[in-house]
A = this chain, B = another copy of it.
Amino acid sequence: MAAAGEAVRPLGWDEADVELEIPARAEYVSLARLVVSSLASSRRDLADDRIDDLKLAVSEACTNAIEAYEPAGEERVVLHWRDEQDRLEVDVQDHGPGFDPSTLPERPSVADPMRPNYERGLGVPLMRALVDEVEFASSDDGTSVIMILFCPPVTPDGE
């Protein structure tokens, strides 16, 4: 048995799935952050800076989802949280116009001398740098951004 007998971390994929559906409006992004950081903190295997990374990545994804709807109406953004032993996954879905992620730069071009002119386009590079995996699934019907953090198993004492 693991030392942490008290199962704070949910046990299975489906069971552990939390869903948050918010109006596609800027004032709700902070709620998505709050939910993600609260869920991440209850997993005792994540360091604070990893929680901050995930929180920022999810926030960027929600911001993009909301901006995809501009001008905003009654649209919704849906966030799913899934816990597994060795990872956690968050996806953020919208039904905006979609986009072609392959046209975006893979990595932030930190050495670009034109950087000071970039007031936008920082969100996706941040997401890519902050979490272990980001996947964009986008079509005419909308976009789903899946973000994954791997959580290396903590070997319990006495095993």
Contact = CB atoms under 8 A, between A and B. Distances in A.
Contacts of A34: 34-35, 38
Given A35-B34, A39-B31, A18 B21 contact: yes
Identical copies of this chain, number: 2
Given A34-B35, A35-B35, A38-B34, A19 B20 contact: yes
B21 A74 contact: no
A contact patch SS? mixed
Contact of A23 (B18, B20, B22): B18
Contact of A20 (B10, B14, B18): B18
A23 B16 contact: yes
Given A35-B34, A38-B34, A8 B21 contact: no
Interface of A: 8, 10, 12, 14-23, 25, 27-28, 30-31, 34-35, 38-39, 42, 73-74
A23 B17 contact: yes
A42 B22 CA distance: 14
A32 to B, nearest CB: 10
B38 A25 contact: no
